[in-house]
Amino acid sequence: MITPVLTQKRSLDIKTFNNTGGSSALFKALGHPLTASKMNGLISSLSSLGRVAVYDPLGQAAEWQALYDISSVKIAAVFVQNVADLDKQLLGKNTQPVMDLAKAQADALVVTAFDAARLVAQIQHLLPQGLKILSFDDVRLPDEFLTNTRHYLDPLNFATNFVFFREEAGHHTRLVTANYWAGYSQKEVGLWCCLFDKDGKALSQWWEKLKKSVHTITLDSKEIKERLKLGSFTGSLFVHFTGVAGHDVAKYALDTYGDVETVLSCTHDANPWPADLYAGLPAPKEGSQVLLWVQNSHPCPIPANSIGLSFMGSDEVVVYDKPIGGFATVELDTAEFFPKARWPQQFEVHAGRYFVRPRYEVIDQVKGRCLIAHTNVERTDLKADPAIPALGRVMGKIYILPMPVLPVDRWQTIVLPTPMSTAQKNLPLALSIYDRQGKKVASHFLGVLDRASIKDFNINDLLSKRSPEDFPEGFGHVELTYDFSQGGQADGWLHGLVRYEDTQSGHNAETSFGSHIFNTVLVYKNEPQSYAGRPPGLSTRLFLRLWPGEEVDTLCHLIYPASTPWHAQSMTDLILTDADGREVHKKTVRIPCSGSLFWRYHEMFSQEERRRAGKNAYIIIRDMTCRLFGYHGLINDGKAFCLDHMFGF
């Protein structure tokens, strides 16, 4: 089933995302589920037309070939517009200047570009009389899908994402987001959905009815199964938001729950662009199983031996030796790749740009419990930044990764640093623990960690060496930061995984994220990060989804990190909002600088306030004085809980 190899397979030849230009729309446009069937029809037509000339003015033919099998097309010649692209191999031919089109002996011409009318008009005089002309415009989505009909590859036209969606064997999934685009524009936002089963077969396609307000959007697998009269399924839910403004990223929270209390998790959105590598995938503990859920995000199959796992810091990749169909979903047991791997060992996922940020499932075979969490994108474009060590002189802590310390009388908090860039050969790190009032109660130099041998750190063990009076309220947060006292390098892409073990219920949760520069008016590169506009980002707008029933409460842990001293206290509004986007009640809380607030929905808002908010309510966390970092979760007391980081907009 699996085969060890020593070389990394070549990634799919598509452009997905870069840190300066943002996300690419071309691979989304070519690989859209509705486009796929049209494109296969176009390829079939080209195959029947005899000799076909290809004009590739914008350099998009390679991605076409990557995502579709065009071997049946009899390509006579390939022409380009940019002289820098001349005399290169493309689609099996040497590229020629477009002026030579007049000499082409072809029965048809395909222009590998959208919005091709102007491109064709430029070369009309070069075309033989009666030549049949086709282009990517023949596979365009209907205008109802497009925010900007004049520029097809506008990223706002492809606010799409994939969702791990399961309604099977007592497991359910619930996507919750908000129509946050309504806060940027008066355009009417739409939502088109396509549900795929494990084999990549489309089970159903439908439009959700949205309102014009910033309202809750909920997609529950249980309700969808009943409404659409479907059988059980596990696979991908593809979502496409239309009429968007502000940005093109479809963010959501995903809760996984079950018919029994031993199944409960929450995770963040999937990141809408497939990456070469993912990291932060932990090895199982003794008595547990770790499954990686791979969702092929393209219409083309993933060839055998194209994806795999390696130990962090190792060059040996163990590959999956079976193909995975277009839009199909498969679960990979990490034990079949590395049978002896154990926590705190961690894996790199060699994804080859075939799938979006994957989920992993940890099944405790002793307790019969399971949790789902997500990996993160491992950057391949970074280098060590020699300027970072000196930044501390003016920017204090510089990059901070803040993570909750849940009440120590109930939860164990375990931190595992996770290399998240191929440039990170070592991680010079320190760990500091703060109580909820912002007082540092413990610090620990972790060393200059080698990427291949990173250990976990139990925060409760570190706190046990302190007097209980040092941590009086029993909760706070931990900050992972750079420490260059013994050397080491940094690139600013510092990540970590934190595991929470509930000693009362036996349930666990895991979350992982990366560091940022927080709450300083000084700017370094694109930090402190801003959701809208240029940095520094010095305000907060977070979305907190709420469980619709009273039997499960919502947790929230807000942290006020600061790279340099900032306002002594936050001025944080918790705005309870009903499902239609109307404010029901607002509470203002103050969080000390370097402090935190751990709270529950049912304790923060009265029963009457919750009744008025109704089902599918949500909370907007707003602060104009500082940038907070938030975590959200659910708790069914004594039975199960979950925790993951929140999203902002």
**Both 253 and 280 in a single domain?**
no
- What CATH number did the domain enclosing 185 receive? 2.60.290
Residue 5 has pLDDT above 80, yes or no: no
**340: Cβ contacts below 8 Å, ≥ 6 apart:** none
Structure tokens at 320: 């999956």
For residue 2, name the pLDDT band (cuts at 50, 70, 90). low
Whether residues 125 and 206 fall in one domain: no
Amino acid 185: pLDDT:
78
Structural domain containing residue 328: 2-12+274-378
Residue 17 lies in a domain: no
pLDDT, average across residues 4-29:
76
In a shared domain, residues 237 and 319? no
Spell out the residues 6+ positions from residue 560 whose beta carbon is closer than 8 angstroms to its own: 438, 519, 570, 591, 592, 593, 594, 595, 596, 626, 628
Q: What is the pTM of this model?
A: 0.95
Q: Are residues 136 and 150 in the same domain?
A: no
The pLDDT, as a whole number, for residue 181 is 85
Q: Is residue 347 part of a domain?
A: yes
- Judge whether residue 230 has pLDDT over 70: yes
Distance CA 335, CA 141 (A): 42
Whether 511 and 606 map to the same domain: the answer is yes
* 593-616: pLDDT as tens digits: 999 999 999 999 999 999 999 999
100 SS3 class: helix
CA-nearest of 131, 89, 141 to 111 is 131
Q: Residue 25: inside a domain, yes or no?
A: no
- pLDDT at 1 exceeding the cut of 70: no
pLDDT band at 36 (very low <50, low <70, confident <90, very high): very high
Same domain? For 429 and 286 the reply is no
Positive/negative CA dihedral, 91, 97, 99, 104:
negative
User: Domain check: are 341 and 296 in the same one?
Assistant: yes
Q: Confidence class of residue 6 from pLDDT cuts 50, 70 and 90?
A: very low
pLDDT of residue 20: 59
Mean pLDDT on 474-485: 97
Using DSSP bridges, classify how beta strands 640-645 and 629-636 pair: parallel, antiparallel or unpaired. antiparallel
**DSSP string covering 113-141, please?**
SSS-HHHHHHHGGGSPTT-EEEEGGGGPP
- pLDDT-derived band at 103 (thresholds 50, 70, 90) equals confident
Predicted confidence (pLDDT) per residue in 402-439, tens digit: 999 999 999 999 999 999 999 999 999 999 999 999 99
Q: d(Cα 192, Cα 170) in Å, to the nearest integer?
A: 26
**Average pLDDT of 235-259?**
92
Rounded to whole angstroms, how far apart are CA atoms 500 and 15?
Answer: 37
Task: Find the mean pLDDT for residues 514-543.
Answer: 94
Residues 324 and 358 in one domain: yes
Read off the pLDDT of each residue in 149-164 and give the average, rounded to a whole number. 95
For residue 644, how many C-alpha atoms fall within 13 Å in the half-sphere facing its CB? 23
Q: Are residues 253 and 224 in the same domain?
A: yes
Same domain as 608, residue 459: yes
Cα diameter, the chain: 89
CA 50 to chain centre: 43
- 169 and 126 in a single domain? The answer is no
Q: Is residue 118 part of a domain?
A: yes
Instruction: Say whether both 195 and 47 belong to one domain.
Output: no
Closest by CA position to 471, among listed 500, 434, 501: 434
Could you tell me what percent of the chain has a pLDDT over 70? 98
Q: Is the pLDDT of residue 7 over 60?
A: no
Q: Is residue 28 included in any domain, yes or no?
A: no
Q: What percent of the chain has pLDDT over 90?
A: 87
Mean pLDDT of 5-21: 71
**Quick one: pLDDT at residue 21?**
59
- More confident: 64 or 18: 64
Average pLDDT, the chain: 94
CATH code (residue 61): 3.40.50.720
Does residue 237 fall inside a structural domain? yes
Q: Which residue among 140, 160, 178 closes a domain?
A: 140
pLDDT at residue 292, as a whole number: 98
The predicted model gives 281-285 an average pLDDT of 98
